[in-house]
Amino acid sequence: MAYLKKGLLPALIITAASAVYALGFVWCYVPNGIAFGGITGIGQIINYLIPAFPIGVTVIVLNIPLFILGWKFIGGRLLVSSLYCMFISSIFIDLLTPLYDWQPMEPLLACIFGGLLMGLSLGLVFQQGATTGGTDLIARLLKLKLKWLPMGKLLMGIDLAVIVLVSATFRTLYAALYGLVALYISTIVMDGVLYGMDTAKVAYIISDKNREITAAIVSELDRGVTILHGQGAYTGAEKDVLMCAFKQREIAAIKATIKDIDPIAFVIVCNAHEVLGEGFRDYKKDDL
């Protein structure tokens, strides 16, 4: 069972995600001439200029120097899983391409579903501590230094340059515009898979009925409350501030509970990029 969890299950997830990645590429991107970022996008350019070079094989060749750098700076474990992911996704691309006559669809639909499939597959791959190679690997390396940046945003910045290059090769502005739409969608989906679709919130509560509000939030909503000691800038009076982290779906219940106890309570609700700990997501080593 331990072997299944540590070895076989991640490999199966990476394989399935790679198949989804390839499906999104050959079904939504290639037939519609939508610009694709990363090394796959460069492979798309080379295949367009030299049709004899399959995209999958081209991607493997272009990734060789990047994986050599990855071996040096990241280490063997991530590199082995990334090599497998890159290899299997490239094979799936070359297998699926001749398997069916992939016809163009409505470009906007191609952007939406292509972005969804790409974002889902990349999110699952990153969750397993792997990459698909190319700019994914570059983003993973940058993440070591820029830990505060979400993976989706890092990839989006890197892929923008490639998308412009693909558009120039196809000699159409629409390729880049549709590529940007698909990239934005995939970024949102990827970050949703990695960091959770249920965005966390933080509420700061200033009230004269802190004890009652704290008791209600803890007992009725099963959320923790932290008491911060503050001071009014105008009056100079000491005032405790309650801080409570909760999930997006709980916001209505939190506000209703506070206002039922103290209708004039001052409440500030902020977005929280990530919350780790009991009741939320657990931290993992080399977390993204």
Domains of the chain listed by start with CATH number: 2-195 (no CATH), 200-272 (3.30.70.120)
CB atoms within 10 A of CB 118: 29
Residue with tokens 């965005």: 199
Which pLDDT score, from 0 to 100, does residue 241 have? 94
pLDDT digits (tens, 9 = 90+) for 19-68: 999 999 899 988 988 877 777 778 878 888 888 888 778 877 887 777 77
Residue 283 DSSP label:
P
CB 84 within 8 A of CB 14: yes
Q: For the sheet containing 266-272, what is the strand order?
A: 226-231, 238-247, 200-206, 266-272
Nearest-CA neighbor of 95 among 84, 107, 87? 87
Which pLDDT score, from 0 to 100, does residue 109 have? 93
pLDDT digits (tens, 9 = 90+) for 157-215: 777 878 888 778 877 788 788 888 998 899 889 888 877 655 688 999 999 999 999 99
Residue with tokens 């890197």: 158
CA distance 10 to 45: 32
**Mean pLDDT for the stretch of residues 78-83:** 75
CA distance 259 to 278: 26
CB 64 within 8 A of CB 142: no
CB 176 within 8 A of CB 35: yes
